Structure 1
């Protein structure tokens, strides 16, 4: 007993003492994340940035019963690969009503237990998870066996009870046009929002009420199935993917629909979260899917302008895709510096007006197909817009207006990419194996090579990037020049000014990032994820806290140090320790090209004083 007691004391010390590594990370790694003062924050008050992918994979498909991975072992291998290849610290994990409640009033506990096991594969890597009750075009069961398109979401028994007309999208060139053109889809969605009552084998059921019931049961089961640590790393829930009206009532538009139907639904969902034991986790609520579209055909007013506030129990959760770039016709060229700053700033501004944090839970661009040549530039521009309000050409002169950094989840991560065996709409004559196996999409950032190992389908410099994963205070400015490669070309959009020759010499043609933040006096350090190609031995850091090439290992006393990320070995983070409320800065480069770190420090100090003083 004495030996056990001593062991317990040692374990507690390791988990609470600064500078001592616990088995699964450092003392500040497992904190609950909440929303406060318009940002994600941990219990140390640090401003947290969430970056990662949608863990979708087979979740939209029937081949593996609606789970993102064929097995828990596959989920574990995928989580490790994601950590090593991208440094992701969060994923959006898809779950589906049809698999939760395959028969009326009957919850499939086995499906939910499998979800919990696959979620744990990610939390075991220190990767946080938020659930997404996903739907596309309401349900796969609306579509004919020979249809060009398919969907996912509602169970078959809901659709059959609804008695909807035969579906047809007419001359649709994109699956998303079904949201407005397919009468079966629009009728079913309209019924959902108006809580239409249907006759079932379990008696009369109102559709929206039933969705809320199954969601509550699913959350209750998942909480009981997950370990305390795994549940602590669950961020919250996205109540419904890409909501839309189906069709509006007389005199209604998107703004009124959000106010009168969508927000009441979210408040009801929030109540189910509280009742299921998720009261300390936010609801990641999406506005009308069409609110931030850059294609006029789809664009509609929305974004909750008629909702006075959301507050800390909700997150403003938006998607963004460049529909013009995907069309190939509306935007024939590639993306450039600052291409999406206005679009992403709109998301920032709406969250700020609603008094909460923001996340872009879906963004991306096809990795194959006739517009895939745009992928490197489009992804670079989207990540640039997540990092800063400013294009690279104006960052140094306007850095005081750069922040905050946005969280985001790229669409998507599917190790089964190109290896599917999906019977589209249960039709054995329409077996889909290529790409995502869903409506001819090609978005996965990963695939398996011939040896069965995960490899990226996108430019690695774009997705494995320097970013401030936790800031001890308030981010004032951030930028990262990833020098992404587009074929033979290197995309360099942020040029260090001629007035800072020592900084320019130090950076050379390498990748670099700059963070400026105001401290809040907490003990936990500011952290930046280091891309895998940033060797700690050759990484240069120029900061008011110190200037060095080569990073010492973190023991809890160094102001500038390196430590492993939780999970897979070989993944690192930069730790910058402060305990005051002053303004601090750090330039991080993947190796000093030439020149003096001392001279670069003097130039950066003068720039920070002039810009933020």
Structure 2
């Protein structure tokens, strides 16, 4: 019954998309026919990601999913294509995502040395197709944590994922033991079985790295051959290796020289395999040493691919960020606050700029269970705000020109099986895991399935489903979004409209709002902002140099401001702004979900205020 209802919902969503003038999801320069449903290839440069129209593009979404780390569904993100469809619909409709990092397992891809399991590749590709057909960009990731689950004994407190059993069998590693380890990540540096096997991978001991690269090439070739041309075009790139660390340094080696002499050559080899597999036009999403941008000084290590030179267009600077101090508990008292991560995420922006390429946070998040879970609402809000702008909310209206690029990111994680697992930890029949993420006591999934089988968010929808500029026809100068998300019963307002803009403040009231400022570069395609589900179309108010409106109409070639369906038929929406294809014109667009319906006079007065403000700040 649940699946029949879901199919009915999909049909209704498709009908809504057609009613708004939706197209098939293919890229076209005809906005009336396709509404700019863009599946053009992405290019990485110092300006960030750009699409086939030359628009700056922001990727936002989730990791799907930690289920790949588990044995219960044979290393696949989902038990079935139907579950993948359910998840993809929810990523769009509930989570506001336009991209996912799609996890794959080396252990299941190459269970026997030298033999790639095409049954596994076929199942993974079929699940991947569902996301691509929902208009969601995908970048696959051969995931690993603690190198391999086969390092761990059946009674261990911890487990890993990644390398196949034959790799571990060939290594003759010591019995795993972590000593006094309160967190699973301590195994990375304290467990000799993990450090020695990781060392062997980077040194290609016994040719194991060569095997991995060959399997990766076979996998990429299979994906390219079994997706349609349109689907494959929407694949953004490939993440070669999750959270790289050296395991053991050679004599005289440092974290920086390890990146230079071990990690970067590996990425060059992986890049060559991408080319051989038909992925030449797609970038590798390469990660530095995982402790490079740690916010605990005791764990921070030099890195960031400092010696790799200019990365674009062949590579994207890809890093993770978790608030280690907050997860530690005693290392950070209290909740996160406005601007908490502006410096950390500013470092990511600066490193990508120095490397001449786009940046993405392929993982970020915070536990939703345990002693520090109460910090999650403020931490997630602070992280998303730091991705939107490097200026904290309280200072944004005064200093918007310091905003910087809007960062792309995929939150960890999106696991529809949260609290519904059936995992034998380390294949131990006496250790059946059903709760949380069923992996090392983690619980970070933003979603779960209720008793009716429907996807339900575990976090405030206002912090997850956000206004963001998915495509900007020009250069982004500044962006901010005040989500008014909740911490319990408290509404978190970190970026109030200042009293110096009384009509803008009156228009917004206590509602959510986003503001994008950009300068045109002669692109004829429209600027697009994702419209969250909490913004009813009839109530959505836009104030822009291109006009003002409450309740924007369906987008057509004759409308400067209009609403249209997001691709994929999930019922989610976006706003489109069409400006003359001039170069150098300053544009702004305030998108509000006001607490009361503003009059045309208030909109006009707010437009006058915003025009003067923008002219004075840029």
What range describes the TM-score normalised by the shorter chain of this pair?
over 0.9
| Residue 169 of structure 2 corresponds to residue 163 of structure 1 | no
- 1:139 aligned partner: 148
On the 8 A contact 1:57/1:416 being kept in 2, the answer is: no
**Which secondary structure state, in structure 2, belongs to the residue aligned with residue 236 of structure 1?**
coil
- 2:197 aligned partner: 188
On the 8 A contact 2:243/2:290 being kept in 1, the answer is: yes
Aligned residues, how many?
A: 591
**Which secondary structure state, in structure 2, belongs to the residue aligned with residue 235 of structure 1?**
coil
Distance 2:227 2:423 in 1: 30
On the 8 A contact 1:538/1:592 being kept in 2, the answer is: no
Distance 1:262 1:478 in 2: 35
The 5-angstrom pairing of residues 465-476 of structure 1 reads 465-476=466-477
- 1:480 aligned partner: 481
Return the offset for 1:35.
1.3
Distance 2:356 2:52 in 1: 19
On the 8 A contact 2:513/2:591 being kept in 1, the answer is: yes
Distance 1:92 1:445 in 2: 15
- 1:18 aligned partner: 30
Q: Render the CA deviation track for 1:428-471: whole Å, top value 9, x for unaligned.
A: 11111110000000000000111111100111100000000000
- 1:5 aligned partner: none
The 5-angstrom pairing of residues 529-608 of structure 1 reads 529-578=530-579, 579-581=581-583, 582-591=585-594, 593=596, 594=598, 596-608=602-614
Distance 2:46 2:189 in 1: 37
Distance 1:309 1:182 in 2: 35
Distance 2:219 2:24 in 1: 33
- 2:40 aligned partner: 31
Q: Render the CA deviation track for 1:284-328: whole Å, top value 9, x for unaligned.
A: 000000101112332211111222221211000000000111122
Return the offset for 1:13.
13
On the 8 A contact 1:539/1:592 being kept in 2, the answer is: no
Distance 2:123 2:592 in 1: 42
Distance 1:57 1:71 in 2: 15
The 5-angstrom pairing of residues 500-511 of structure 1 reads 500-511=501-512
Distance 1:14 1:211 in 2: 34
Return the offset for 1:332.
2.0
Q: Render the CA deviation track for 1:514-539: whole Å, top value 9, x for unaligned.
A: 10001122221000000101111111
- 1:209 aligned partner: 210
Distance 1:415 1:285 in 2: 27
Structure 2: any 5+ residue segments left out of the alignment?
1-22
Distance 2:563 2:435 in 1: 41
- 1:73 aligned partner: 82
Return the offset for 1:230.
1.2
Distance 1:512 1:28 in 2: 25
Distance 2:298 2:171 in 1: 29
| Residue 104 of structure 2 corresponds to residue 95 of structure 1 | yes
Q: Render the CA deviation track for 1:39-95: whole Å, top value 9, x for unaligned.
A: 111110000000000001410000000001000110001101111102210000001
Structure 1: any 5+ residue segments left out of the alignment?
1-10, 198-205
**Which secondary structure state, in structure 2, belongs to the residue aligned with residue 29 of structure 1?**
coil
Return the offset for 1:29.
1.6
On the 8 A contact 2:510/2:594 being kept in 1, the answer is: no
On the 8 A contact 1:57/1:417 being kept in 2, the answer is: no
Return the offset for 1:403.
2.0
Taking structure 1 as reference, are residues 235 and 44 closer, same or farther at Cα in structure 2, changes over 3 Å only? Answer: same
Distance 1:14 1:239 in 2: 28
Greater shift in the superposed pair: 105-114 or 306-315: 306-315
- 1:4 aligned partner: none
On the 8 A contact 1:325/1:331 being kept in 2, the answer is: yes
- 2:458 aligned partner: 457
The 5-angstrom pairing of residues 102-181 of structure 1 reads 102-181=111-190
On the 8 A contact 2:318/2:359 being kept in 1, the answer is: yes
The 5-angstrom pairing of residues 302-313 of structure 1 reads 302-313=303-314
- Give the TM-score normalised by structure 1: 0.95
Return the offset for 1:15.
6.2
Return the offset for 1:28.
4.4
- 2:62 aligned partner: 53
Distance 1:456 1:209 in 2: 41
**Which secondary structure state, in structure 2, belongs to the residue aligned with residue 54 of structure 1?**
strand
Distance 2:26 2:533 in 1: 27
Distance 2:499 2:369 in 1: 39
Return the offset for 1:608.
0.5
On the 8 A contact 2:37/2:566 being kept in 1, the answer is: no
On the 8 A contact 1:506/1:597 being kept in 2, the answer is: yes
Return the offset for 1:592.
6.3
Return the offset for 1:591.
2.9
**Which secondary structure state, in structure 1, belongs to the residue aligned with residue 605 of structure 2?**
helix
The 5-angstrom pairing of residues 514-533 of structure 1 reads 514-533=515-534
Taking structure 1 as reference, are residues 210 and 373 closer, same or farther at Cα in structure 2, changes over 3 Å only? Answer: same
The 5-angstrom pairing of residues 73-472 of structure 1 reads 73-197=82-206, 206-472=207-473
Taking structure 1 as reference, are residues 235 and 189 closer, same or farther at Cα in structure 2, changes over 3 Å only? Answer: same
**Which secondary structure state, in structure 1, belongs to the residue aligned with residue 479 of structure 2?**
strand
- 2:12 aligned partner: none
Distance 2:25 2:182 in 1: 60
Distance 2:582 2:368 in 1: 45
Return the offset for 1:405.
0.1
**Which secondary structure state, in structure 1, belongs to the residue aligned with residue 31 of structure 2?**
coil
**Which secondary structure state, in structure 2, belongs to the residue aligned with residue 584 of structure 1?**
strand
- Give the TM-score normalised by structure 2: 0.94
Distance 2:139 2:365 in 1: 19
After superposing on structure 2, the runs of 4+ consecutive aligned residues of structure 1 that deviate more than 4 Å are 11-15
On the 8 A contact 1:135/1:154 being kept in 2, the answer is: yes
**Which secondary structure state, in structure 1, belongs to the residue aligned with residue 399 of structure 2?**
helix
Taking structure 1 as reference, are residues 14 and 88 closer, same or farther at Cα in structure 2, changes over 3 Å only? Answer: closer
Distance 2:428 2:389 in 1: 46
